[in-house]
Amino acid sequence: MIDAALYSSTSYANLNPSVADSPALPILSVAPAQIIRGTGILQQAGEAIARLGKRPLVVGGDRTLKLIEPLLLPVLEQAALSVTQASYGMDCSEAGLAILRDAVAHHQADLIIGIGGGKALDAAKLLAYQCQLPIATIPTSGATCAAWTALANVYSDQGAFIYDVGLATCPNLLILDYKLVQTASRRTLVAGIGDALAKWYEASVSSGHADQTLIIAAVQQARILRDLLFQKSVVALQAPGSAVWREVVDATVLLAGVIGGLGGAQCRTVAAHAVHNGLTQLLQSHDTLHGEKVAYGILVQLRLEELMQGNRLAETARQQLLKFYAEIGLPRSLADLGLSQITLSDLKSAAEFACRPGSDIHHLPFAVTPEHLMAAMVSTTVLGLNVPGTEARPAETGHLTNP
């Protein structure tokens, strides 16, 4: 396993010694330099892309690259760009990034174009960061805000989360083509709704009492994002391509990114993303999307607040989310994530990773142990507060098998 310290001292330092040797600066990366959005807008984006470079390397997954080729390549060729493509593999991993760096060198690329979902865009952004090249991002679904953010998650070759990397800037160009996003499955936008909802539930816990202007703004924007998704998601999912559907896509891809940009590192993720990171350590979880795990993680976070603090507002919020999740199809339990048959040993492994030193879960205002987290993970759908001392124990839930 490669940790963040090894990455920063070896991989990035070797590529960018001047940056690696310089002291940390209080840099806030708020937004992409330019955003182009509209239905069918990709066909008109050649000139904007050409301003960034003349020899782009297009990075995406194998399937996406094949599907996008007849749409994107004519646009780039019409702009007189010399283009080649490279697959990021299955995950944004160290091994995959090494292959991509070789592709950059072989093509003498002066621009990276990332296209696809969260992992493809993270790989493209991190590649551009390592090679000190400009980047354009083109999301193919509303599943995450990765097209916007100055952040990339790094995974093992088996798909287990290892660490994240803060990047120097947001992308130079973001192209949001609603026609392209509409080709993605309904499930991807549902997952994006789950991921975006976490902005409020995590930021309000970690940064709700902050007195810094931009963090206050980020937290309030997170509340607005939550309310917008509650109000519009059901209708949007019933009418792909409609005006309200585009608003929800804007919320998951753009507004969610605004919150991370304004809030920066101090407007932190908390337990919802920590639970996601823990679940990725289980091979059984790899059939579920990032936002699906995060959505479940929100329920776990609220359950922890109930169990550890007797927080009735958290219980009310959890019941509200359970109803909303049922309406749009987000997972409410381990069983909904396809993990009804995981062993107690597997659950403990996921919980221990989520609670490791330095994990975002420790931004909660109380201490959390793997045992606390396991109790919350198996009781996300219980009715009522279920105060400490009466919470469900893993062996009693009926969802798990012994190792």
**397 compared with 119, residue with greater pLDDT:** 119
Residue 312 pLDDT grade (very low, low, confident, very high; cuts 50, 70, 90): very high
pLDDT over 90 at 13, yes or no: no
Cα–Cα distances in angstroms (integers) from residue 236 to residues 128, 145, 402, in the given order: 34, 18, 42
Which token pair is 177?
Answer: 């083509």
Kindly state whether residue 94 falls inside one of the protein's structural domains. yes
Q: 293 lies in a domain?
A: yes
Average pLDDT over residues 91-120: 97
- Residue whose C-alpha is closest to residue 224's, from 260, 205, 199: 199
The answer to whether residues 152 and 126 touch, using CB atoms and an 8 Å cutoff, is: yes
Q: Is 70 exceeded by the pLDDT of residue 157?
A: yes
State the pLDDT at residue 344: 95
CATH number at residue 39: 3.40.50.1970
- Residue pair 184/141 in contact (Cβ under 8 Å)? The answer is yes
Give the pLDDT score at 269: 94
- My answer on whether 133 and 219 are in the same domain is no
Q: Token pair of 157, please?
A: 């070759």
Same domain, 216 and 335: yes
Predicted local confidence at residue 27, as pLDDT: 80
Q: Mean pLDDT over residues 66-72, rounded?
A: 95
Report pLDDT for 386: 66
Question: What's the confidence (pLDDT) of residue 79?
Answer: 97
176 and 228 fall within a common domain? no
pLDDT at 24: 56
- Read off the pLDDT band of 23 (50, 70, 90): very low
Domain co-membership, 170 together with 194: no
Residue-by-residue DSSP string for 319-346: HHHHHHHHHHT---STTTTT-TT-BHHH
401 belongs to a structural domain: no
DSSP 8-class letter at 9: I
Q: Could you report the per-residue pLDDT of 74-103, keeping only the tens digit for each?
A: 999 999 999 999 999 989 999 999 999 999
pLDDT band at 274 (very low <50, low <70, confident <90, very high): very high
Neighbours of 79 (CB within 10 A): 17
At residue 308, the 3 state secondary structure works out as: helix
User: Residue 289: is its pLDDT beyond 90?
Assistant: yes
CA distance 328 to 313: 23
Query: What is the DSSP secondary structure assignment for residue 45, as one 8-state letter?
Result: -
- The percent of residues in the chain predicted with pLDDT above 70, rounded, is 89
Lowest pLDDT segment from 6-20, 129-143, 233-247, 277-291: 6-20
Exposure class string for 328-338: b at 16+ Cβ within 10 A, else e = bebbbbbebbe
Q: Tell whether 402 is covered by a domain.
A: no
Q: Quote the CA–CA distance of 233 and 225 in Å, as a whole number.
A: 11
Report the DSSP pairing between strands 135-139 and 56-60: unpaired
Spatial contact of 147 and 137, defined as CB atoms under 8 Å apart: yes
**Cα end-to-end span (Å), the chain:** 24
Please tell me the pTM assigned to this model: 0.90
Q: Is the pLDDT of residue 396 over 80?
A: no
What does 370-392 look like in DSSP terms, one character per residue? HHHHHHHHT-TT-SS---TTSSP
The answer to whether residues 198 and 306 belong to one domain is: yes
Half-sphere exposure of 110 (CA within 13 A, CB side): 9
Tokens at residue 138, please?
């083109």
CA 154 to chain centre: 11
pLDDT digits (tens, 9 = 90+) for 175-211: 999 999 999 999 999 999 999 999 999 999 999 999 9
Q: Which of 135, 165, 181 is the last residue of a domain?
A: 181
Q: Indicate if the pLDDT at residue 397 is higher than 90.
A: no
Residue 172: closest CA among 40, 13, 53, 259: 53
Q: Mean pLDDT of all residues in the chain? A: 90
Token reading at 134: 């400009």
CATH number, domain with residue 340: 1.20.1090.10
Label the pairing between strands 161-166 and 151-155: antiparallel
Last residue of a domain, one of 114, 147, 181: 181
- Are residue 119 and residue 199 in the same domain, yes or no? no
251, 147: one domain? no
Is 166 in a helix, a strand, or coil? Answer: strand
Asked if residue 312 and residue 177 are part of one domain, the reply reads no
Share in percent of the chain as helix, strand, coil (round to 5): 55, 10, 35
Q: How much is the average pLDDT of 324-343? A: 96
Please tell me whether residues 89 and 213 are part of one structural domain: no
Residues 154, 212 within the same domain: no
| DSSP assignment string, 136-154 | EEEESSSS-STTT-SEEEE
How far apart, in Å, are the Cα atoms of 207 and each of 26, 31, 150, 265, 297?
18, 20, 19, 10, 18
The tokens describing 217, both together, are 């703004």
Residue 292 maps to a domain:
yes
Torsion of CA 187, 376, 362, 339, to 10 degrees: -40
Confidence of residue 3 (pLDDT cuts 50, 70, 90): very low
Of 181, 199, 218, the residue that ends a domain is: 181
Residues 105 and 228 in one domain: no
CA atoms within a 13 Å half-sphere pointing along the CA-CB vector of 218: 35
Question: H or E segment at 12?
Answer: none
The boundaries of the domain holding residue 344 are 186-396
In the chain, the number of structural domains is 2
Q: Are 276 and 118 in contact (CB under 8 A)?
A: no
Per residue, the 3-state secondary structure of 55-84, as one string, reads CEEEEECHHHHHHHHHHHHHHHHHCCCCCE
If DSSP codes are grouped into helix, strand and coil, which group holds residue 87? strand
Structural domain includes residue 403: no
Residues 75 and 103 in one domain: yes
